[in-house]
Amino acid sequence: MNYENILITIENNIATITINRPTKLNALNVATINDLHKAFKKLDKNIEIQVIILTGSGEKAFVAGADISEFAHYSIEEGTKLAAEGQEKLFDFVENLKTPVIAAVNGFALGGGLELAMACHFRIASDNAKMGLPEVSLGVIPGYGGTQRLPQLIGKGRAMEMIITAGMLTADDAYRTGLVNHVVPQAELLTFCNDIASKILKNSPYAIGKAIKAINANFKEGKNGYETEIKAFGKCFGTQDFKEGTTAFLEKRKAVFTGK
């Protein structure tokens, strides 16, 4: 499948998606959102792919924001549709994938870029990263889940201040507040992400998918996270991965999981 604005490499069951609009600092436009949706959907269905790393091309930006030139003239109805379709196709879609997605945040992650990073299952930042949701400085608010995910990750007070001041966090500030899991030198970013991905590869893909679903349930309205966990826990008992994992443990050997 050919993509207009992204590149995909696959090695050792790890797929790396690179948003490739360097002249626009990898800004998200509708075409890029569509490319990402198709890529994530295809990779999530591929049983050989067990981890996805998402990053931006170049050293300046992960994603510097949404492409403002594309929606500056929109009406109320068009703006509402833009947010709804974007959340459905990409941001909510990524959050609910069964394949874990690591955001490798290199440089700026602003607006829709930070919202995309927050939709990933966790984030690793380069030491030159800068993160923020500056939408109110443009007369609009975050529309791709930013007002919901940022408070979940760093707390209501910090998120409120960050959004209504349109302020930016350094990589160290992002680490201190829990927005990112690690900060590493930019030259080591992808290597570090691949090292974490390699640790994930050792575990049951089926169980990982169920763990993601159970964790997400705690943050979804109308969902009981504990009930989701109980059901997911029970389903694991009917899998080949469970039989392999427990047998390998008892036989004191490394498990070989198939994701089934």
Q: Is 135 a catalytic residue?
A: yes
The one catalytic residue in 135, 161, 227, 244 is 135
Count Cβ neighbours within 10 Å for each residue of 73-112 and write b for 16 or more, e otherwise: eeeeeeeeebbeebbebbbebbbebebbbbbbbbbbbbbb
Which tokens hold the place of 250? 């008892």
How far apart (Å, rounded) are the C-alpha atoms in residues 155 and 122? 16
How far apart (Å, rounded) are the C-alpha atoms in residues 69 and 229? 43
How far apart (Å, rounded) are the C-alpha atoms in residues 83 and 121? 21
Q: Which is it for strands 130-132 and 61-63: parallel, antiparallel or unpaired? A: unpaired
The one catalytic residue in 115, 227, 229, 251 is 115
Q: Is 95 a catalytic residue?
A: no
Question: Would you name the residues annotated as active-site residues?
Answer: 115, 135
